[in-house]
Structure 1
Amino acid sequence: MIYHHLSVLVHRQAEKYGDRIALKYRDYELSQWIPITWKQFSQTVRQTANALVALGVEETENIGIFSENKPECLYVDFAAYANRAVTIPFYATSSPAQAQYMINDANIRFLFVGQQYQYDAAIRVLGHCHSLKQIIIFDKKVVLDPRDKSSIYFEDFLSLGKDLSYNDIVEQRTAKASETDLANILYTSGTTGEPKGVMLHHSNYLEAIRIHDLRLVDITDKDISLNFLPLTHVFERGWVYICVSRGVQVCINLVPQDIQIAIKEIRPTLMCSVPRFWEKVYLGVKDKIDNTSGPMKQLMLNAVKVGREHNLNYIRLGKKPPRMLHLKYKFYEKTVMQLLKKTIGIENGNFFPTAGAALPVEVAEFVYAVGINVITGYGLTESTATVSCTWKTHFQIGSVGQVLDNVQVKIGDESEILLKGKTITQGYYKKPDATAQAFTADGWFHTGDIGYMKDGELYMTGRLKDLFKTSNGKYIAPQALETRLVIDQFIDQIALIADQRKFVSALIVPVYSKVEEYAKEHGIQYANLDELLTHPQILQMYKGRIDTLQQQFAYYEQIKHFTLLKEPFSMKRGELTNTLKIRRNVIAKNYKEVIDKMYEK
């Protein structure tokens, strides 16, 4: 297979696919999905590339993209690559302070923004960003600040390249584009300390596309991928580039909260997600089964039981199932399971990659049992996403799969996962000390993740920096128990506390609607949410559920006390990163009084 440089990839695909649909996006005013052909995609990228030259963008210059997922993000990306420029995506939820830091750190002159929030955040810090020359706005509905005399809308920007009068310059730059060019600087969300800009070169992406082709052999140009995660996230970004390289139709979801609607409208064959999505699917189905009675309930339970036997004990292990079991499975597959998948919107599913956190064992067993091909993987920004992933057969539940070709993994001191390979970053932007600390003397990259290899598969057990040491000298990896507990239908978020403490405690964000429903069913009287979440019967109910779920853990790893919180952890308060990982140091600070009170008991 020929692997095209990202500077020409869209144009080569347009030559191949022409008027076939490359992208779709939802127009909220028209309430419909708008198709974009490969030819249109290529033409717009070319026009955008010319407009960048007209704007004054130089080769190797850093360009900022501060937006939710939109086709314009891809236009600017590929147009920048054609000019040998570098794109720096910001999370759409980034605070003004975070935006200011990235603009100044990367010396950004031109910043593309999506909607009103991103524009307002950029305008707010404009006076503190001395390099920032102009803001270009994707959404024409954005209302400009009365003092703003320099920002322009994307339509006006695009008109600068309408007649392709700078195409000779673009072509000259593209001709010089090489694998050694820097493609992106992806700022880590920073669970501790200030963000670091991970440098990803074109060589990283080209290698990632190549090694994924060897593993994900079932992707074809007949597939339809729904873009759910932020394009800022290396997982979705790398995935979209793989899809473009395979001719897959990419449907761009603008509003993350609308994903349930979008899935049913698009009926995708592929979709990247985080495990929380499948946890909610599992809890929803489990709740439906629990609230069904009679023959229908038995039918659903039998379907899951047969699917578990057929898919987990045979297909997963590459074995041929007995004929009678296979016939039973086919019956349930065409009835109960097909109805379930259709209800979610994934009845056309090919496979669904998931990463970013551990997929709970119960959830994994359920989705495989009902015939949903969820592919679990492990990776990080610094490895251009995937290091390892499972495939449809020959994998162990609980592992993050087999390591991809040409990626080297070894287990170092303190069980840390170390990496080498062509997909690994060359380092952090303008941070030589951090770069030096990130690599061993012989070139292995420190992931900071704890894990082990067994029978050719990689298992991840936690983060080194999250490893708690109790005052009794016991080490605890909190993610394992947190992953176990978050599958409970009454638990939305959880943060374990144990570092330098005499026992494990937890802050729990309940699923408030479930608690209220439970109170109503059991005649529990309360005046407000505070009273409900401290009611003895509610606390006893949670204790029983927690004790059941944590019984497989060692005594010193188990939660002894917990507090139910009346509001969720928040990005605004700094408790969550842009990728919704908890910042333990911020939570420890914000909830210090609550935590200390648990240790007075």
Structure 2
Amino acid sequence: VMLTHGNILANVAACERLRLARSDDVFLSLLPLSHMFERTGGYYLPLSIGAKVAYARSVSQLAEDLASERPTVMFAVPRVFEKFAARLNEALAKSPAKKRLFDLVVAAGGRVARREAGLLDGIVLALARDRVAGPVLARLGGRMRFAVLGGAPLDPAIAWLFLGLGLPVLQGYGMTEASPVISVNRPESNVPESVGMPLDNVEVRIAPGGELLARGPSIMKGYWNNPEASAKSLDREGWLHTGDLAEIRDSRIFIRGRLKDVLVLSNGEKLPPQDVELAILGDGAFEQGVLIGEGRPFLTLVAVTQETDEKRLIQRANERLKGFPGYIRVRRVVTTREPWTIENGLLTPTLKVKRERVQEKFRTEIERAYAAGALD
């Protein structure tokens, strides 16, 4: 990807104009600096405003680094906060009374964030939020003002959990070809189901086929020594074809999946797998998951889970899919207990699942499941 000095400066300047970060902020840098999300958000932006950046040693030492550096701002991928929420829910499950109080505070905080709060919500938060949220936020250093998450889809439930505790979690969207930020939620108008509004120097629109297009001074010049690929991604009017399916409502962008990842079942029904996977992963029994179904008669889920009862897993997965059309139901589950990691080649450096690698690794088990037929 060919990004000019002007491309990057335009993106940094637009991020700075959001006035999210301040010169007295402390950023904690976790993602690889070879990734444009971290390079722009966690390096160039704080450099431009004179903020401090602390560098985390590794994901495994993140808890210690949060405690020692006490950051006020963090740019991260959703997986970091998903794992934090999973450990939190696991601990709460041991105490039903604490879980009820926690849920009460999160629900009240969420209504405040949505500007739907009543008198009772104010009372609940005044009496209990510090006691409930304090220990949780202390594990993030105790000073974090907000976190920007990108690089992969964020389950809105995770965002609402932290919003309910008083920590703004802002989902954004971008790609290397855009230097990379295209849009981000703002604290005063945060809709976690979306990836927010575009930056003030980025235009967006939806192409007839549903693909999101973006244009502006931060869009790349093309791909190095690859004019054919450049022509496919950048049209003559300067629109970048992102490859993502999206909707725009009230100026906010809602991502619906990747064009290339859309699954077409053998009966012709289509679905973007990311939305479905995100819904399923809202059940803590599923740690990671990828849907299989291209050209197949039904959907199979490949999942990292400690559960072994396939019929029970199918039931739990489909409980999460009640809001989807009837053909979007899981009929088989292929399980593994070994997490997908960067080290075993199943995650990218920004912790996104390598879908093709997962399919290849579990090809035998997947074929066996389809040969045996659906479990209803």
Structure 2 residue 166 is matched with structure 1 residue 333: no
Report if the CA contact (8 A) 1:375-1:391 is conserved: yes
Task: Quote the residue 1:310 is aligned against.
Answer: 112
Aligned AA (2:277): E
Task: Find the partner of 1:499 among 290, 294, 299.
Answer: 294
CA pair 345-416 structure 1, distance change in 2 beyond 3 A = same
Higher RCO (C-alpha under 8 Å, 6+ residues apart):
2
Aligned AA (2:321): Q
Map 1:255-266 onto structure 2 (within 5 A). 255-266=58-69
Q: CA separation in 2, counterparts of 1:573 and 1:309?
A: 41
Q: CA separation in 1, counterparts of 2:287 and 2:101?
A: 29
Task: Quote the residue 1:287 is aligned against.
Answer: 90
Map 1:120-159 onto structure 2 (within 5 A). none
Unaligned runs of at least 5 residues, structure 2:
none
Task: Find the partner of 1:224 among 10, 15, 26.
Answer: 26
Q: CA separation in 1, counterparts of 2:170 and 2:114?
A: 14
Q: CA separation in 2, counterparts of 1:351 and 1:253?
A: 17
CA pair 570-213 structure 1, distance change in 2 beyond 3 A = closer
Deviation at 1:271, TM superposition (A): 0.7
Report if the CA contact (8 A) 1:283-1:487 is conserved: no
Deviation at 1:421, TM superposition (A): 0.5
Report if the CA contact (8 A) 1:229-1:256 is conserved: no
Structure 2 residue 329 is matched with structure 1 residue 558: yes
Q: CA separation in 1, counterparts of 2:343 and 2:70?
A: 33
Unaligned runs of at least 5 residues, structure 1:
1-197, 315-320, 516-532
Task: Find the partner of 1:472 among 221, 243, 267.
Answer: 267
Task: Find the partner of 1:548 among 319, 326, 330.
Answer: 319
Aligned AA (1:261): E
CA pair 262-544 structure 1, distance change in 2 beyond 3 A = same
Report if the CA contact (8 A) 2:32-2:349 is conserved: no
Deviation sequence 1:534-592 (CA, Å, 0-9, x none) = xxxx2233223212112211121221111112434455665433333333333333332
Task: Quote the residue 1:351 is aligned against.
Answer: 146
CA pair 337-483 structure 1, distance change in 2 beyond 3 A = same
Q: CA separation in 1, counterparts of 2:99 and 2:249?
A: 39
Task: Find the partner of 2:14 among 207, 211, 226.
Answer: 211
Q: CA separation in 1, counterparts of 2:20 and 2:335?
A: 45
TM-score, normalised by the number of residues in structure 1:
0.59
What's the secondary structure of 1:307's corresponding residue? helix
Structure 2 residue 254 is matched with structure 1 residue 456: no
Deviation sequence 1:31-79 (CA, Å, 0-9, x none) = xxxxxxxxxxxxxxxxxxxxxxxxxxxxxxxxxxxxxxxxxxxxxxxxx
Q: CA separation in 2, counterparts of 1:583 and 1:201?
A: 29
Task: Quote the residue 2:2 is aligned against.
Answer: 199
Report if the CA contact (8 A) 1:270-1:351 is conserved: yes
Query: RMSD of the alignment, in Å?
Result: 1.9
What's the secondary structure of 1:339's corresponding residue? helix
Deviation at 1:364, TM superposition (A): 1.8
Aligned AA (1:491): F
Deviates more, 1:220-229 or 1:275-284: 275-284
Q: CA separation in 1, counterparts of 2:180 and 2:344?
A: 28
Report if the CA contact (8 A) 1:312-1:365 is conserved: no
Task: Tell me how many residue pairs correspond in the alignment.
Answer: 371
Runs ≥4 residues deviating over 6 A? none
Map 1:397-546 onto structure 2 (within 5 A). 397-510=192-305, 512=306, 515=307, 533=308, 538-546=309-317
Q: CA separation in 1, counterparts of 2:208 and 2:175?
A: 20
Q: CA separation in 2, counterparts of 1:377 and 1:299?
A: 30
Aligned AA (2:202): V
Deviation at 1:261, TM superposition (A): 1.4
What's the secondary structure of 2:215's corresponding residue? strand
